[in-house]
A and B are shown apart, each in its own frame.
Chain A
């Protein structure tokens, strides 16, 4: 077990290093965006003095290296900075009371995104694995082909198209679910769940194909193994051969694909949020880029990167744990 612990610690250290490098990339990329917040907020007719004054207020006149370390130092202490958009109006009106930290702005949005991702994962992961196991069991049958065609068609269609189709069938023609997912704080859980269901279903359609096909392929890949032949020659049922003998050995690639798809659910759902007016982090991100609200953009990027790294790390660790050779060394 000490062996596994060392591996996990190594991966964690690597993850932290990756995050540090990503933070540099984010900072540089965001600073390469054309235009800046001051120019943007004051419009075309702004005097250079006014622009300079806002830049000075926001610290934009500092050299990039200083700004990077200020930002990094803040992040390490849990301070993601202050949103330009909020800070600006505060200093302009001289009231200073409306100043909002980036953290306060992002937190509720991020919670909403995690909620949606979780609802989707709870539907999509068991569904894909079950479909994958069944497709492997009845491979090349009508069921297998139907499952493949359906999931592939849904992954190949644009997300907004899937979303509108679902709205048409589940909200307009048969009003079962609400088409607007305008959830807010303090909403009852059941209502929240009901409102999130349509976007979650849309996302399920998007991510299922990948996970299901990997499950199917990873299992079929093992079916030629001598131990599978042995299981068959012991007279076990086909279902038992697959679930008990093939699936445990196919877990590593399946876990990795699940992690990639979960990461996508956290970071890549802007279109679905827009269609359903779901107040997630994706919309906030796009809005902040538009107005060059750099602290918010950087914080969002950092959260996305962390989500990717953490999920892949978890997948790595779970793959390691699914291997009895590593769990029980000689």
Chain B
């Protein structure tokens, strides 16, 4: 083994990306070595250059990116000087790629099997018939339901988790020596993620395939990788064996990544009996057109407290928020504000009722008007709800900017595009605060942000709550966030509230079976977590399969 040359050898690679007519560094000279059959975890925050480096290992760069220095060797072949024809022969056949969003990476116009057999047939590895048989075999190994038929469906007819496994099968179709996994489970729910992780790990072990596993989730990479490499803004921070890295990181940055999960708010006293909730959702049913999506949803939210609404995608979390804001009038039930019934339709609510309920969105990028300056964005609700103009308005906007820890003179005239993701989310918070509401709906406000930035946002929200006695409805699918800031938890599934109660109660067994599944599916830093969990649940009762049984 020691004499054998490495499968991948990258030395001093430098990559640059073009923006505004200049080339800016993305990766500043990183080395990477991968032995046959080895799985290397590549972690870092967004912008660290993980994906760019992963693609460079295939000798591929996206449009607007170039390799300015260094070497990439695959099995002794220099990929940077190799001709396009030689590289095409390697890609798909000996080096394969699994993308983040399988839904976007499968061609919507062709059936799964059509796309599966394309690689082996075009590369002359196998004929169509045996490729199809092999595809079915791989689908079976990856525990896809109906392996004999699923390949003959179109991508839109198959769920996200299944597509991700079908894409892994497609990558396996030519039995490559190396697969690049680029955040393959980031877009999936936790219960689905388990299934995909287990499938990927099995099949990679079974065929002794080497892999580069790119992710920002430490707990996930701990399950998958033999070694971990940490990247920060295009530089390598450290590389070590997985267990060593988890137990004894040497660099400050790595330690700070590990520490993010420790933020937790002190427990608040219980709500006094008889207190009127700020918002009370009472027996709400709702439908999109004729399709019912919410059934008898009820819960209360009290002043100065945070209610976390958790559940998988499609469970009705955001629909409940739309009912509260009046964007989607419920078909039955009602919403109460301070003990008074709110009109179902926002158009029938008074300005003051509208002012009391504000929202912060998941994608700060699309929630801010790109043509308005920060000052204008925050000033609008100030003028609309509070009727302030001129110098008074400016004073209020400045105060709000200070509140969210951004220097007014520096940021007032900037456009959203000149801000970072975390700063944009802060502007979203300031805009909600500008109306001086009692109640704010936070819809997945941290899920698009890196862990360190997200923690800053959570701390800010917590401080504002203490200062202004705000009440938050916190929609999230991330249970670590729930642990950090919630007072009460509402668990939703398929449009129904499954369980609700005090946070401590919810995190302490016994749980409702679904809550238990949700909680136990959140990856933990322990590298043996996945193996133990699979052993505990049994092969037939993981992830999706377990959900389906409920």
Q: Which of A's residues lie within 8 Å of B, judged by CB?
A: 224-227, 229-237, 240, 244-245, 248-249, 324-325, 328, 330
Are the CB atoms of B88 and A236 closer together than 8 Å?
Answer: yes
Select from chain A the residue with minimum beta-carbon distance to B180.
A233
Given contacts A226-B104, A227-B104, 15 further A-B contacts (CB under 8 A): A224-B63, A226-B99, A226-B101, A227-B107, A229-B99, A230-B105, A233-B91, A235-B87, A235-B119, A235-B122, A236-B118, A237-B88, A248-B107, A249-B109, A324-B156
| A229 surroundings in chain B (CB, below 8 A) | 62, 99, 105
Are the CB atoms of A236 and B156 closer together than 8 Å?
Answer: no
Select from chain A the residue with minimum beta-carbon distance to B170.
A234
| B349 surroundings in chain A (CB, below 8 A) | none
Are the CB atoms of B107 and A245 closer together than 8 Å?
Answer: yes
In the bound complex, how far is the Cα of B84 from the Cα of A236, in angstroms?
A: 11
Q: Does B108 interact with chain A (Cβ within 8 Å)? A: yes
Select from chain B the residue with minimum beta-carbon distance to A224.
B63
Select from chain B the residue with minimum beta-carbon distance to A245.
B107
Are the CB atoms of A232 and B63 closer together than 8 Å?
Answer: no
| B201 surroundings in chain A (CB, below 8 A) | none
Q: Does B92 interact with chain A (Cβ within 8 Å)? A: yes
| A235 surroundings in chain B (CB, below 8 A) | 87-93, 119, 122-123
A242–chain B nearest beta-carbon distance, Å: 12
Q: Does B154 interact with chain A (Cβ within 8 Å)? A: yes
| B109 surroundings in chain A (CB, below 8 A) | 245, 248-249, 324
Are the CB atoms of B93 and A227 closer together than 8 Å?
Answer: no
Given contacts A235-B88, A236-B122, contact A227 B105 (CB under 8 A): yes
| A225 surroundings in chain B (CB, below 8 A) | 104
Interface string of B341-369 (1 = CB under 8 A from A): 00000000000000000000000000000
| B90 surroundings in chain A (CB, below 8 A) | 235
Given contacts A226-B104, A248-B109, contact A234 B60 (CB under 8 A): no
In the bound complex, how far is the Cα of B107 from the Cα of A248, in angstroms?
A: 10
Q: Does B58 interact with chain A (Cβ within 8 Å)? A: yes
Chain B positions 100-139 with a Cβ under 8 Å from a chain A Cβ: 101, 104-110, 118-119, 122-123
Given contacts A233-B97, A235-B93, contact A328 B157 (CB under 8 A): yes
Select from chain B the residue with minimum beta-carbon distance to A324.
B154
Select from chain A the residue with minimum beta-carbon distance to B100.
A226
Are the CB atoms of A231 and B91 closer together than 8 Å?
Answer: no
| A245 surroundings in chain B (CB, below 8 A) | 107, 109
A98–chain B nearest beta-carbon distance, Å: 58
Are the CB atoms of B108 and A236 closer together than 8 Å?
Answer: no
| B156 surroundings in chain A (CB, below 8 A) | 324-325, 328, 330
| B122 surroundings in chain A (CB, below 8 A) | 234-237, 240
Considering residues A224, A226, A231, which has the most beta carbons from chain B within 10 angstroms of its beta carbon?
A226
Select from chain B the residue with minimum beta-carbon distance to A240.
B122
In the bound complex, how far is the Cα of B60 from the Cα of A245, in angstroms?
A: 19
A100–chain B nearest beta-carbon distance, Å: 52
Interface string of B150-164 (1 = CB under 8 A from A): 000110110000000
Considering residues B90, B96, B107, B153, which has the most beta carbons from chain A within 10 angstroms of its beta carbon?
B107
| B91 surroundings in chain A (CB, below 8 A) | 232-235
Q: Which of A227, A233, A240 touches B58 (beta carbons < 8 Å)?
A: A233
In the bound complex, how far is the Cα of B123 from the Cα of A249, in angstroms?
A: 24
Considering residues A229, A232, A248, which has the most beta carbons from chain B within 10 angstroms of its beta carbon?
A229
A149–chain B nearest beta-carbon distance, Å: 25
Q: Which of B87, B104, B119 touches A234 (beta carbons < 8 Å)?
A: B119
Selected A-B contacts with CB under 8 Å, 19 pairs: A226-B101, A230-B105, A230-B106, A232-B91, A233-B91, A233-B92, A234-B122, A235-B88, A235-B123, A236-B92, A237-B122, A245-B109, A248-B107, A248-B109, A249-B109, A325-B156, A328-B153, A328-B157, A330-B156
Are the CB atoms of B108 and A324 closer together than 8 Å?
Answer: yes
| B105 surroundings in chain A (CB, below 8 A) | 226-227, 229-230
Given contacts A235-B91, A235-B93, contact A227 B157 (CB under 8 A): no
The 9 closest A-B pairs by CB, nearest first: A235-B91, A235-B92, A234-B92, A248-B109, A226-B104, A233-B97, A226-B105, A235-B88, A227-B107
Interface string of B385-401 (1 = CB under 8 A from A): 00000000000000000
In the bound complex, how far is the Cα of B107 from the Cα of A325, in angstroms?
A: 12
In the bound complex, how far is the Cα of B257 from the Cα of A12, in angstroms?
A: 61
| A232 surroundings in chain B (CB, below 8 A) | 60, 91
Interface string of B460-471 (1 = CB under 8 A from A): 000000000000
A140–chain B nearest beta-carbon distance, Å: 12
| B154 surroundings in chain A (CB, below 8 A) | 324-325, 328
A139–chain B nearest beta-carbon distance, Å: 11
A6–chain B nearest beta-carbon distance, Å: 15
| A325 surroundings in chain B (CB, below 8 A) | 108, 154, 156
B272–chain A nearest beta-carbon distance, Å: 49
B293–chain A nearest beta-carbon distance, Å: 16
| A240 surroundings in chain B (CB, below 8 A) | 122
Are the CB atoms of A234 and B118 closer together than 8 Å?
Answer: yes
| B93 surroundings in chain A (CB, below 8 A) | 235
In the bound complex, how far is the Cα of B106 from the Cα of A328, in angstroms?
A: 16
| A234 surroundings in chain B (CB, below 8 A) | 91-92, 96, 118-119, 122
In the bound complex, how far is the Cα of B179 from the Cα of A234, in angstroms?
A: 11
| A233 surroundings in chain B (CB, below 8 A) | 58, 60, 91-92, 96-97
Select from chain A the residue with minimum beta-carbon distance to B154.
A324
Given contacts A324-B156, A328-B154, contact A231 B107 (CB under 8 A): yes
A224–chain B nearest beta-carbon distance, Å: 7
B505–chain A nearest beta-carbon distance, Å: 38
B179–chain A nearest beta-carbon distance, Å: 11
B395–chain A nearest beta-carbon distance, Å: 45
| A328 surroundings in chain B (CB, below 8 A) | 153-154, 156-157
Are the CB atoms of A249 and B118 closer together than 8 Å?
Answer: no
| A224 surroundings in chain B (CB, below 8 A) | 63
In the bound complex, how far is the Cα of B60 from the Cα of A227, in angstroms?
A: 15
In the bound complex, how far is the Cα of B153 from the Cα of A227, in angstroms?
A: 17
| B157 surroundings in chain A (CB, below 8 A) | 328, 330
B167–chain A nearest beta-carbon distance, Å: 8
Select from chain A the residue with minimum beta-carbon distance to B88.
A235
In the bound complex, how far is the Cα of B60 from the Cα of A232, in angstroms?
A: 9
In the bound complex, how far is the Cα of B92 from the Cα of A237, in angstroms?
A: 12
| B118 surroundings in chain A (CB, below 8 A) | 234, 236, 244
A141–chain B nearest beta-carbon distance, Å: 15
Are the CB atoms of A249 and B107 closer together than 8 Å?
Answer: yes
| B119 surroundings in chain A (CB, below 8 A) | 234-235
B288–chain A nearest beta-carbon distance, Å: 15
Select from chain B the residue with minimum beta-carbon distance to A247.
B109
Chain B positions 430-468 with a Cβ under 8 Å from a chain A Cβ: none
B93–chain A nearest beta-carbon distance, Å: 6
